[in-house]
Amino acid sequence: MSRYFAMSALLATLLAAPPALGGALRQSAESTAGFIEEEPPVAGSFTFNLGIGIVFPTFETNSRFKEGWAFLLGAGYHLTERIGVVAEYQYSDYDLKSDLLADSSFSGDHIMQYGDLNLLIGLAPRGRFGLYLTGGPGLYYRKVEVTQFAGTAIVPVCDPWLLFCDSEVVPVDAVIGSRSTTDFGLNGGVGVSYRIYGPMRVYLEARYHYIFGPEYSTPTGSRRANGQYLPINLGLRF
């Protein structure tokens, strides 16, 4: 009889083991899920971003200005998981190239600031790695300041990208000074991101900016001082 009871107890133990084991596995999974932070839903939430970057003037802008540095600030709103709107401000600074005119040497500074309103479309909005497209209109402020102009005493200077054009010879001190313009522009680009915690992501993006500049009458005809820039920004979005 005792042998019968011992076998019955062993059988009952074996039958009870799988549920107990399953409970332990579930508890372990819940503990692991709590340790790995899941990305919360972003639809209907606000977002902020800040970053720094290097800016490459392109095409005719590149022949006047050296590469510059920039910082940016932004705030946006997620309409859906994949689509958001972002308002951004960026400040960038550049040096003038010294060999703009023959037999002359320039020194100076170029500053560009803009505010834009972009649409952000997430191609891979969930997961650790993200991919997105962005673009939209903006208002661009550009200032060019010539601080030193060494060379001949009087020269004809007409360069729309320096925001100065005079077909007649002018004294050097007439070229030295600061000039600015504010114009409409467009931008578009692509970015990648990596989620580091919750909704917080580090991102790297490249965007092409085209600015519709003012028109100048030059000896070769009318020309517009259109600006073209390619900033590459590294930032944090949260």
Pairing between β-strand 200-211 and β-strand 154-159 as defined by DSSP bridges: unpaired
Report residue 201 CA to chain centroid gap: 13
* The pLDDT of residue 98: 76
* The pLDDT of residue 166: 72
The whole-angstrom separation of Cα 137 and Cα 116 is: 6
The whole-angstrom separation of Cα 105 and Cα 149 is: 6
Look up residue 91 and give its amino acid: Y
Q: Return the bridge partners of 95, or none.
A: 109
Per-residue pLDDT of the chain (238 residues), as tens digits, is 444 444 455 445 544 545 544 454 355 444 434 334 566 778 889 999 999 999 999 999 998 999 999 999 999 999 999 999 999 999 999 999 877 665 566 778 999 999 999 999 999 877 899 999 999 999 999 999 988 766 655 556 778 898 887 766 666 666 777 899 999 999 999 999 999 988 899 999 999 999 999 999 887 788 899 999 999 999 999 9
* The pLDDT of residue 139: 98
* The pLDDT of residue 15: 47
Report residue 132 CA to chain centroid gap: 12
pTM beyond 0.85:
no
* The pLDDT of residue 124: 82
* The pLDDT of residue 77: 97
Pairing between β-strand 68-78 and β-strand 83-95 as defined by DSSP bridges: antiparallel
Asked whether 31 and 62 are in contact (CB, 8 A), the reply is: no
* Exposure of 197 in the CB half-sphere (CA atoms within 13 A): 1
| Residue with token string 């560009």 | 112
With a CB cutoff of 8 Å and minimum separation 6, the contacts of 210 are 185, 186, 187, 226, 227, 228
Using DSSP, state whether 225 is helix, strand or coil.
coil
The three-point CA angle 134-138-141 to 5° equals 135
Asked whether 138 and 187 are in contact (CB, 8 A), the reply is: yes
Using DSSP, state whether 30 is helix, strand or coil.
helix
Closest by Cα among 191, 183, 143 to 164: 143
With a CB cutoff of 8 Å and minimum separation 6, the contacts of 43 are 78, 79, 80, 81
Closest by Cα among 163, 179, 188 to 61: 163
- The pair phi, psi for residue 31, each rounded to 5°, is -65, -40
